[in-house]
Amino acid sequence: MEIACNVTRQAPIAAELVNLATPRWRQGRPVRPREPKQLASAFAELVGVHTGAAVRAVPDAGERLGALAGGLRHALLAEDAGGRAAGVNALIERYGSRPYLTEDVGQPFHLHFHGSGETVIESLGGEFATAIALIIDGYGADRFGQCQAERCEAVYVDLTRNGSRRYCSTQCTARAKSAAYRSKTPKTTGATAPAATKRWLEATWPFIAEHLPPAPASVLEIGCGRFGGFVPALQLAGYQALGVDPEAPQRGPYQRGTFEEYEPPTPVHAIVACTSLHHVTDLHDVLDHVESALQPGGVFIVVEWAHERFDEATATWCFDRLANDSETGWLLRHRELWNASGHDWSSYIAAWSVHERMHAGHEITRALRSRFQTRFLGEGPYFFSDLDNVSETDEQDAIDTGQIQATGIRYVGHKPR
């Protein structure tokens, strides 16, 4: 069945109203419920000048929109098809949807289903309820859902041909893919994880330790991962340590969640971020948060990766040094995906970094240098812990002799006093 074009236009607006009004989490961040006035003006922005002005003219628009959003959410997310149909029928009845044909200037007749209540909001309620009813009729009752990404309660309407949608937005699609990708890397999981992780942490710890203020200073690690990152070593060295990560260990000095949503009770003396910044959604948001979480003069220690320097010679050098029996790991996955892609390395890796929405190394260092007083900035090895029988020194030698690029970044900066 061909669905009236007005329906495909209304349904996403209905979903967006639900998402403005109801989620407590959206795209990985906690959301404060909007006051009715804020809800009305956010929604008015969404619906164009004419309808927006009509919405703003309704004195209690926010309350009315809140009620409509609640009803829509209830209908869209009801457990089964019967529940969804019943929820939509109740909305059609409540808002008094009434079909009639309209001819806009220069357009053929099209069908509207304005509701028949007091204000433009009831009118829209009728449109939204009928739009959803027609989607259920034309596509089925499973074309709605709550975003499947972590920490997101937004709803979506799926108008794709094959009904494949699972996320509310491209941001959440990227977050979910990046989480799945990270969970496949040997740094965070899998049978081989502890050995590679241990090698990485042991090799990187001296750099961290060298730049920390003396113990017992307070140190926060951003993105400590499911094994706790440097937190155990920090504690052993006498620091007051805390690791923040959505997958942080359940027990011990850890906080589960993203760094952006974590508020330290008092500013800390030092923050460590080890290969976590290139994944974040909004680098500047995170750095704002680092600045506010640090004491004046506090130190920010960063270990990062410059994906833009991961060239073909470097990749091949790594691929030749993967363990023979390795079945998982992010480098192996690159080797397989690249072989399957049929592209040359540079277009393969460029497409991958865009797809993963990764921040480039030069972008990260530029942002760091513009905010902090830089004490150290260096390049060096990055891959050795994921390779078979390759030490940090081996990788440094390959860098020094020009066989591969230095893709590791190390940075130390102070928050201005």
Distance in angstroms (rounded) separating the CA atoms of residues 361 and 274: 13
Could you tell me which stretch among 11-19, 152-160, 216-224, 337-345 binds Zn ion (CB under 5 A)? 152-160
Chain positions 183 to 242 lying near Zn ion, rule: CB under 5 A, are none
Nearer to Zn ion, 261 or 379 (CB): 261
Q: Would you count residue 154 as binding Zn ion (CB under 5 A)?
A: yes
Strands 240-245 and 218-222: parallel
Could you tell me which stretch among 116-124, 167-175, 238-246, 328-336 binds Zn ion (CB under 5 A)? 167-175
Mapping DSSP to helix (H, G, I), strand (E, B) and coil, where does residue 56 land?
A: helix
Cβ partners under 8 Å of residue 260, min gap 6: 28, 29, 280, 282, 285, 286, 289
Q: Would you count residue 168 as binding Zn ion (CB under 5 A)?
A: yes
Sign of CA dihedral 256, 262, 264, 265: negative
Two structure tokens written together for 316: 């091949």
% helix / strand / coil in the chain, to the nearest 5?
Answer: 50, 15, 35
Q: In the bound complex, what is the minimum distance in angstroms from residue 214's beta carbon to Zn ion? A: 43
Q: In the bound complex, what is the minimum distance in angstroms from residue 155's beta carbon to Zn ion? A: 9
* Closest by CA position to 126, among listed 78, 84, 90, 158: 90
Go through the chain and tell me how many residues it has: 417
List the one residue from 20, 69, 149, 174 that touches Zn ion (CB under 5 A).
149
Look-up of token digits 């006498």: 238
Q: In the bound complex, what is the minimum distance in angstroms from residue 73's beta carbon to Zn ion? A: 14
Distance in angstroms (rounded) separating the CA atoms of residues 28 and 151: 5
Could you tell me which stretch among 60-68, 69-77, 120-128, 164-172 binds Zn ion (CB under 5 A)? 164-172
Give the long-range contacts of residues 346-355, CB within 8 A, separation 24 or more: 346/311, 346/312, 349/307, 349/310, 349/315, 353/307, 353/308, 355/174, 355/177
List the one residue from 129, 132, 172, 387 that touches Zn ion (CB under 5 A).
172
* Closest by CA position to 21, among listed 62, 58, 74: 62
Q: Would you count residue 277 as binding Zn ion (CB under 5 A)?
A: no
Binding residues for Zn ion, rule CB under 5 A, total 6
Could you tell me which stretch among 61-69, 139-147, 230-238, 404-412 binds Zn ion (CB under 5 A)? 139-147
Q: In the bound complex, what is the minimum distance in angstroms from residue 66's beta carbon to Zn ion? A: 21
* Closest by CA position to 149, among listed 130, 127, 174, 128: 174
Q: In the bound complex, what is the minimum distance in angstroms from residue 259's beta carbon to Zn ion? A: 19
Cα of 261 vs its chain's centroid, Å: 13
List the one residue from 40, 55, 92, 147 that touches Zn ion (CB under 5 A).
147
Q: In the bound complex, what is the minimum distance in angstroms from residue 37's beta carbon to Zn ion? A: 25
Nearer to Zn ion, 142 or 400 (CB): 142
Q: In the bound complex, what is the minimum distance in angstroms from residue 34's beta carbon to Zn ion? A: 17
Q: In the bound complex, what is the minimum distance in angstroms from residue 168's beta carbon to Zn ion? A: 3
Q: In the bound complex, what is the minimum distance in angstroms from residue 246's beta carbon to Zn ion? A: 14
Nearer to Zn ion, 19 or 123 (CB): 19
Chain positions 90 to 129 lying near Zn ion, rule: CB under 5 A, are none
Q: Would you count residue 404 as binding Zn ion (CB under 5 A)?
A: no
Nearer to Zn ion, 7 or 154 (CB): 154
Q: In the bound complex, what is the minimum distance in angstroms from residue 165's beta carbon to Zn ion? A: 11
Q: Would you count residue 176 as binding Zn ion (CB under 5 A)?
A: no
Mapping DSSP to helix (H, G, I), strand (E, B) and coil, where does residue 193 land?
A: helix
Nearer to Zn ion, 168 or 287 (CB): 168
Q: Would you count residue 152 as binding Zn ion (CB under 5 A)?
A: yes
Could you tell me which stretch among 141-149, 227-235, 236-244, 254-262 binds Zn ion (CB under 5 A)? 141-149
Nearer to Zn ion, 27 or 255 (CB): 27
* Closest by CA position to 254, among listed 276, 226, 277, 291: 226
Two structure tokens written together for 377: 């900035």
The full 3-state SS of 381-411, as one line of letters, equals CCCHHHCCCCCHHHHHHHHHCCCCCCCEEEE
- List residues near Zn ion by CB under 5 A: 147, 149, 152, 154, 168, 172
